[in-house]
Amino acid sequence: MFRIALAFLFASLTSLTVSAGGYSGNKLLEILGEDKSSEAFSQFKTEYLLDKALKNPVLGIKLTASHDESSVVTAITVTAAGYESNETKYKQFDAELPFFISFNDDAATLSEKFGDNKGSSSDDDKMKFKKDGITVNVYFKNSAKKKISYIKFTQNVGLVGPYRLDGSHEPPVMTASTAPSPLPPAKDVKLDIKTMNAKASSKDVTSLPAPATFGKSSASDRSSADPLYNSIMNVIASGEEEMFKDIKKEVAPRSNFWNYKYTYSTSVKIPGEKYNMLYSFPFQNSQLDFVSVLEETDAANPVINEKYTEMEAKLKEYFKPSEGWSYHYTVNQEDPKGIKDLELKNPKLGSIVLDHSINPQGKHVLYLRFLLQYT
């Protein structure tokens, strides 16, 4: 009897939550960029009865959050009835959706509602729109684009702080220790190759506040003028907004330093690279990741150091502390006296890593990898 009463209470609270709609419509978007320790996040979590994984299948909603020290919400996914993820079935999200869209909308209706934005996408079952600082990825149940499966909302790459429709995004809070540290303590060690996709510890990294205009003015002006900056930001945007699906091309098996088996070509070209690829590791259905190989040599070669120095200077020129980036050098265990790995970290976007590795056969590789906030 007690269990029945609890079930009835839960159902009543669920119904009340949906009808209350404190976070619904465009206000739903205001959870984006919020820190998980904030009062706003606590209210949102309570309103939608989110579990520890930040989801509620009954209400058709789940959040994605970063896993670094700031831990902010990076995406909202709302589902139509029947959507399934990781063997969990979701019901339809019944609260009001942002931008007056509806789960009853088809491709033509969505294009009309978003105006000039044509809903660009490389996938037959998906459309992407950008409006008021938000990227909206709409996934359909099939290529006919008549029935929506789920919708994912992300704050446009470059915007910082909690999202506000009027553009008043707030920068991260300035702390007493915000000066970038040029070198880490000697005890810092390099990531093992097998864990290259895991986020490196950032306890010695300091972060600077990024201006609210980051990604809108100076950064966007530079992106249109410099191919390197533009291509790197395209990779970051693709990873955070679409899990790299919009730059993924055909299967392209190729020999590589890590012996990755499931590799794909991309539509991106980073100036100065030898090649780049998307890969799934360890399984074919594992999460996609991106790597840009700058140099590969069969033994120690000055060209590795030269390319490192060149790329290090360019990265520091284009990704400045004044725009929220901090620099962190890590001693390479495979070559303690050699060049250090450089991580450029932004509390909103994640990290760009200039990485040097050596395998037991003496082969060297210098590459760019990305630790993004999409997981």
- The neighbour count for residue 221, using CB atoms within 10 Å, is 10
Per residue in 37-56, pLDDT (tens digit) is 999 999 999 999 999 989 99
Where does the pLDDT of residue 110 fall: very low under 50, low under 70, confident under 90, or very high at 90 and above?
very high
- The neighbour count for residue 259, using CB atoms within 10 Å, is 8
The per-residue pLDDT of the chain, averaged, comes to 79
Dihedral sign for Cα 289, 63, 219, 237, please.
Answer: positive
Question: Quick one: what percent of the chain has pLDDT higher than 70?
Answer: 74
So what's the pLDDT on residue 357? 94
Spatial contact of 41 and 50, defined as CB atoms under 8 Å apart: no
Where does the pLDDT of residue 225 fall: very low under 50, low under 70, confident under 90, or very high at 90 and above?
low
Three-state DSSP class for 151? strand
Pairwise CA distance, residues 203 & 206, whole Å = 8
Three-state DSSP class for 329? strand
Spatial contact of 98 and 25, defined as CB atoms under 8 Å apart: yes
Pairwise CA distance, residues 185 & 248, whole Å = 38
Per residue in 59-80, pLDDT (tens digit) is 999 998 876 556 888 889 999 9
Spatial contact of 290 and 239, defined as CB atoms under 8 Å apart: yes
Per residue in 326-345, pLDDT (tens digit) is 999 999 888 888 999 999 98
So what's the pLDDT on residue 277? 96
Phi first, then psi: what are they for 344, rounded to 5°?
-105, 120
- The neighbour count for residue 312, using CB atoms within 10 Å, is 17
- Average pLDDT over every residue of 213-218: 38
Question: Quick one: what percent of the chain has pLDDT higher than 90?
Answer: 45
So what's the pLDDT on residue 118? 55
161 pLDDT above the threshold of 90: no
Instruction: Provide the terminal-to-terminal Cα distance of the chain, rounded to the nearest Å.
Output: 41
Spatial contact of 164 and 30, defined as CB atoms under 8 Å apart: yes
Pairwise CA distance, residues 128 & 38, whole Å = 30
Pairwise CA distance, residues 32 & 239, whole Å = 17
Pairwise CA distance, residues 351 & 191, whole Å = 14
263 pLDDT above the threshold of 60: yes
Where does the pLDDT of residue 16 fall: very low under 50, low under 70, confident under 90, or very high at 90 and above?
very low
Sheet of strand 148-155: strand arrangement = 55-56, 61-65, 73-79, 148-155, 134-140, 126-131
Is the pTM higher than 0.85? The answer reads no
So what's the pLDDT on residue 246? 80
354 pLDDT above the threshold of 90: yes
Pairwise CA distance, residues 240 & 290, whole Å = 12
Pairwise CA distance, residues 262 & 311, whole Å = 28
